[in-house]
Chains A and B, each alone.
Chain A
Amino acid sequence: MTSPSTGAPPALRGPGRPEAGERTAGHRRLARPPKRPRWTAAAFLAPLIVYLLAFYAYPLYRNIELSVHDYTPRAFVRGDPEFTGPANYLAVVSDATFLRALGNTALFTLGSIAVQYALGLALAVFFHRNFRLSAVLRAMFLVPWLLPLIVSASTWSWMLNSENGIVNAALQAFGIGQINWLTSPDTSLLSVTIANIWLGIPFNLVILYAGLQSVPADLYEAAGLDGANAWQRFWRITFPLLRPVSAITLLLGLVYTLKVVDIIWIMTRGGPADASTTLAIWSYREAFGTGQPDFSPAAAVGNLLILIAFAAGLVHVHLRRKEDHR
C-alpha cells in the first residue's frame, strides 16, 4: 500500500476473472471472423506503447546506463562519464552497508508481510459473518491505507517521540522506562516495521475478505453438522480454500514492501547509523539524500532491488499458471 504505497498498491491482475472474460469473448468471436483490421487495435494501443517506451523503458535504460558508468556531478553536466562496467556493482556488493541493508530489507519485508497477513486474515474472518455495523466498521479500517504516507509517517514519528510521544507515556503507566524508538539503533527498524504493518493491514483485510466471500457457505454448514468447531472450520475449510488468494496477497505484499522508501525515510532517514537502512533507502540516500548525489552506485543498488522483485514476480507468475491449470 504500503506503500502498501507504498505505498499505494495498484491491484495486479490475479488468476481467473480477466482471463475468463477474455476467453468467453474469444469463443464468441471465433464463431464470427473479425471484421476490423489489425491496425485499428494498434491505433488504440499506440498511446500505451509510446507511454511504456518513453516513461518506463527509457528511464529504466538510463538507470542501467548510470550503473555501468562513473557519473560524477561534473560528468553529469558535461555528459562524458567514464565507462566502468560492473565496477559499481562490485563496489556496492563489497560495501559494508550492503549486508546490513540486505538483512534489514529481509527483516522489514518479511516481518511486515507476515504480521500484516496474519492480522488481515484474522480481521477478515472476524468481519466475514455480518453483524450490526460490520460494513461501516470494515470501511473504517481502510483509513490508514488512504492517508498520504507523509501524514501517517509524521504522525507515527510524533507518537514514538522519546520525550513527548504518547507511546512512551502509555508505557510509563505500566512502569516501563523511556524507549528511544526512532533514535536507538536497537528499535528504529522495529519502529518503522510497526508503522508499515499498520499501513498494510487494510490491503490484506480487503483482499482476504473478498476471498472469503467465495468460500461456499454450505461447506461450513456441512462441517457444523459434523460437529466441527470454529477452530477446526477455520483450519480445515477456510485456510486451505483461501490458499490461492493468500499466495497472491503475500506476493503483492512482498513486491510492494521491497520498494518502500517514504515511510522509513520520513521517520528515521535509514538511521541511526544504518540501523533501518533497507536497499531502497540506501539507493535513495545515495542519489538524493545527501548534498552530493552519487547516482551510479545508487542505480546499481536499485537494479539489484529490481532483480529481487523480479524473482518474486516470477514466483507469482508461476503460481498463477499452476492455479489456472488446475
Chain B
Amino acid sequence: MTAHKAWWKTALGVVLVGLMLFPVYWMVNVSLTRTSDMRADPPHWFPWDPTFEGYAAALGQQLPALATSLFVGLGTVALTLIVALPAGYALAKLRPRGTRAIDFLLLVAQMIPAVVMAMGFYTIYIRLGMLNTIGGLIVADSTLAVPFGVLLFRAFMAGIPSELMAAAQIDGASTWRTFRSVVLPLSRNSVITVSLFAFLWAWSDFIFASTLNRNSDVIPITLGIFRYIGNNTTQWNSIMATAVIASIPAAFLLILAQRYIAAGVTAGAVKD
C-alpha cells in the first residue's frame, strides 16, 4: 500500500517537473531547430533532424561576451567577499557599536530597486568616466550581493563557538590572525554559498549592463543576447543556443552545488 502510494506520487512529481521545465526543454529544442523549420506549423515538438548551426553562430559571435561575463562574475565575487567577510565577522562576534543601525541599513539596501541604483551609478560614472568599463560594472553588480553576503556570514559565524576564538586569543593570536586562521577555514561552506550567488547574480545581471555598459564594445552575455534579439529576430535558433550556453553556470550550480543553493535561499529566512 505504502509503496504503491509512493510510486503514484513519484509519477505525479515527474509530470509536475515536466510541466515546470517545459520552457527549458523548448529552449533546447528551438536551439537545435533548422532555420527553415523555425516557422513550421505546427512547430516541431522534437528536434528529429538537429542542427548545430545555432551553436556555431552563437560561439562565433558571443565568445567575447561570455569571457566578459566570466570576468565580471569573478570580480564581483572577489569584491563581495572582501567587503562582506570581515563585516560578517565583526557583526557576529565583535559586538561593534551601531549593529542595529547596520542591520536596518542592510535591510533597506535590499529594497532599493535596481533601476534607481542604475540611475545613481550612471550619474556618478558619467563624471568619473567609468561608464562602459568593466570595473564600473563589477562595482554595480556587487551591490546585488553584498547585503546578502553580510547577513549570511553574520548568521553563519554567530554559530561558531566563541571558545574556539578565545583559545586562539589565549595562544596570543591577534583578532586578524584569529579571523584568518580560525574563522575563515570554519566558514568555508558559507563562503562557497555567497560566492556562488554573487557569481550567478553578476552573470545574470541585465539592468546594470543595459544601462551602465550599453554603449560599450565589451559587453556581458546578457546584453549580447538582448542585442541579438533586437538585431535578427529570425535567427531564433542562434538566440536560443546562446541562451543555452548562458545557462551553463546555472546547470553547473544545480548539479554540483545544490546543497549550497538551498542553504542560501533559506538562510535566516525561516524560523527553526
- List residues of A whose CB falls within 8 A of some B CB: 5, 7-18, 21-22, 25-26, 28-29, 34-36, 38, 40-42, 44-45, 47-49, 51-52, 55-56, 58-63, 66, 76, 123, 126-127, 129, 131-134, 137, 139-144, 146-152, 154-159, 163-166, 169, 172-173, 198, 201, 203, 206-207, 210-211, 213-214, 244-245, 248-249, 252, 255, 258-259, 261-262, 266, 280, 283-284, 287-288, 295, 298-299, 302-303, 305-306, 309-310, 312-313, 317, 323
Distance between B114 CB and nearest chain A CB, rounded to angstroms: 6
Encoded as 1 (CB less than 8 Å from any A CB) or 0, chain B from 90 to 108 comes to 1111111100001101011
Q: Which of B27, B42, B95 contacts A172 (CB 8 A)?
A: B42
Q: Is the CB of B96 within 8 A of A58?
A: no
* Contact A36 B94, beta carbon cutoff 8 Å: yes
User: A146 to B95, Cβ gap below 8 A?
Assistant: no
Choose among B90, B111, B116, B124 the residue with the greatest number of A CB atoms under 10 Å from its CB: B116
B120 with A58: CB separation less than 8 A: yes
**CB-based closest 6 A-B pairs:** A59-B120, A10-B148, A21-B158, A41-B96, A48-B87, A41-B94
Say yes or no: is B78 at the interface (Cβ < 8 Å to chain A): no
Q: By the criterion CB–CB under 8 Å, are A163 and B39 in contact?
A: yes
Interface string of B10-37 (1 = CB under 8 A from A): 1011101100110110110010000000
Q: Which residues of A contact B210 (CB under 8 A)?
A: 288
- Whether A244 lies near B250 (C-beta < 8 A) is no
- Is there contact, CB below 8 Å, between A203 and B124? no
Is B272 within 8 A of A48, CB to CB? no
In chain B, residues 219-272, which have Cβ atoms closer than 8 Å to a Cβ of chain A? 221-222, 225-226, 229, 236, 239-240, 243, 246-247, 250, 253-254, 258, 261-262, 264-272
The size of the chain B interface, using a CB distance under 8 A, is 114
B41 within 8 A of A: yes
Interface residue SS majority, chain B: helix
Other contacts beyond A55-B139, A59-B119: 10, CB < 8 A: A29-B162, A62-B123, A131-B5, A137-B14, A147-B24, A150-B206, A169-B43, A302-B119, A309-B112, A313-B111
Interface string of B170-214 (1 = CB under 8 A from A): 000001000100000000000000000100110110110011001
Interface residues of chain B, those whose CB is within 8 Å of chain A, are 5-7, 9-10, 12-14, 16-17, 20-21, 23-24, 26-27, 30, 38-39, 41-43, 82-84, 86-87, 89-97, 102-103, 105, 107-124, 126, 139-140, 142-148, 150-152, 154-155, 158-159, 162, 169, 175, 179, 197, 200-201, 203-204, 206-207, 210-211, 214, 221-222, 225-226, 229, 236, 239-240, 243, 246-247, 250, 253-254, 258, 261-262, 264-272
Q: Once bound together, how far apart are the Cα atoms of A306 and B117, in whole Å?
A: 11
B69 CB to nearest A CB, Å: 9
Candidates B39, B154, B266; contact of A11 at CB < 8 Å = B266
B123 lies within 8 A of A22 (CB)? no
Contact status A149-B206, CB under 8 Å: yes
| Distance between Cα atoms of A22 and B261 in the complex (Å) | 24
Chain A residues whose CB sits within 8 angstroms of the CB of B264 once the complex forms? 11
Taking CB atoms, residues of chain A closer than 8 Å to B247 are 147-148, 151
Q: Which of B87, B253, B271 sits near A45, CB closer than 8 Å?
A: B87
Report how far A298 CA is from B217 CA in the complex, Å. Answer: 26
Task: Kindly name the residue among A49, A59, A127, A287 whose own CB sees the greatest number of chain B CB atoms within 10 A.
Answer: A59
The interface residues of chain B lying within 8 Å CB-to-CB of A42 are 90, 96-97
Measured CB to CB, the closest approach of chain B to A271, in angstroms, equals 15
What's the Cα separation between A28 and B261 when bound, in Å?
A: 32
Q: Decide: B30 and A158 in contact? CB cutoff 8 A.
A: yes
With the chains together, A14 CA to B265 CA distance in Å?
A: 12
Contact B9 A155 (CB under 8 A): no
Does B246 lie within 8 Å of A155, measured CB to CB? no
Report 27 cross-chain contacts, Cβ distance below 8 Å, ordered by A residue.
A10-B147, A12-B268, A16-B272, A17-B270, A18-B151, A18-B154, A22-B92, A25-B93, A36-B175, A40-B94, A45-B102, A48-B87, A63-B119, A126-B16, A142-B254, A144-B21, A147-B247, A148-B221, A150-B246, A151-B27, A157-B229, A166-B26, A169-B41, A210-B266, A259-B114, A261-B114, A306-B112
A131 touching B13 by the CB < 8 A rule?
Answer: yes
Contacts of B175 in A (CB 8 A): 36, 40, 44
Q: Is the CB of B116 within 8 A of A266?
A: no
The one of B16, B112, B250 that contacts A148, using a Cβ cutoff of 8 Å: B250
Q: Which has the most chain B C-beta neighbours within 10 Å: A144, A155, A164, A173?
A: A155
Asked whether, in the complex, the Cβ of A146 is within 8 Å of the Cβ of B200, the reply is yes
- Asked if B95 contacts A41 (CB within 8 A), the reply is yes
* From A144, A165, A252, residue with most partner B Cβ within 10 Å: A144
Which chain A residue has the least Cβ–Cβ distance from B245?
A151
Docked Cα-Cα span, A42 to B20, in Å, equals: 48
| B194 nearest in chain A by CB position | A10
Q: Is the CB of B17 within 8 A of A140?
A: yes
Tell me if A21 and B120 are in contact (CB < 8 A): no
Q: Which residue of B lies closest to A303 (CB)?
A: B116
Known: A44-B94, A309-B113. A149 touches B204 (CB 8 A): yes
